[in-house]
Homo-oligomer: A and B are copies of this chain.
Amino acid sequence: MTAKPRGRRPGSNDTADQILAAARELFAERGYARTTIRAIAAQANVDPALVHHYFGTKDALFDAAVQMPVDPRQVMSGLPDDPRAIGPELVRRVLGVWDRPEMQERLRGMIGSALTHEGAAETLREMLTRGLLPVLRDLALDDDRRDWRAELVAAQMAGLIVGRYVVGLPRLRRASSADLVASVGPVVSHYLTGRL
């Protein structure tokens, strides 16, 4: 096959963005360890050296690729007070984040990489322990089991995300957000404020 010409390409190119897009897609699909600089370069149609030129190390590329355009914690602000409404609203918002393609790709990149990239694992841990759990704790019934309640909700939400977006169970995957909110929302309300 014909070799690529050397030197700068004519015209204006957004090669760095193409590299980032390729990185995001492959990190989401294969995880950190199984994604190579060469594979990313091939998908972006550049030389592997250019990846390093723009992003430095593979690690730095990963960080740039999974940078969130929106802070997921912000979706947790201003939740209703009504116990019956909290659960459905919470589920709706979490699914709302995940159903945005640009967020989903990054989050899947994070999750898929958490086992082979300590930074990803750390970031997810922070999102959970400093992001989600305190909010859930504040929403929970003010008995002496608020933390317990918060962790039960976190587990339920984690399972929902794994089922729908990671493992991809068929009905969970193609269900509408409304159906999921209808079925899982009341359970979340129950965990938060119901009788356990």
Which residues of A are in contact with B by a Cβ distance under 8 Å?
31, 33-34, 112, 115-116, 125, 128, 133, 147-148, 151-152, 154-160, 162-164, 167, 169-172, 175, 182-184, 187, 190-191, 196
Contacts and interface: CB of A to CB of B under 8 A. Distances in A.
Contacts of A157: 159
A167 B124 CA distance: 10
Contacts of A155: 156, 159-160, 162-164, 169, 172
Nearest to A148: B171
Contact of A159 (B125, B158, B175): B158
A124 to B, nearest CB: 8
Contacts of A156: 155-156, 159, 187
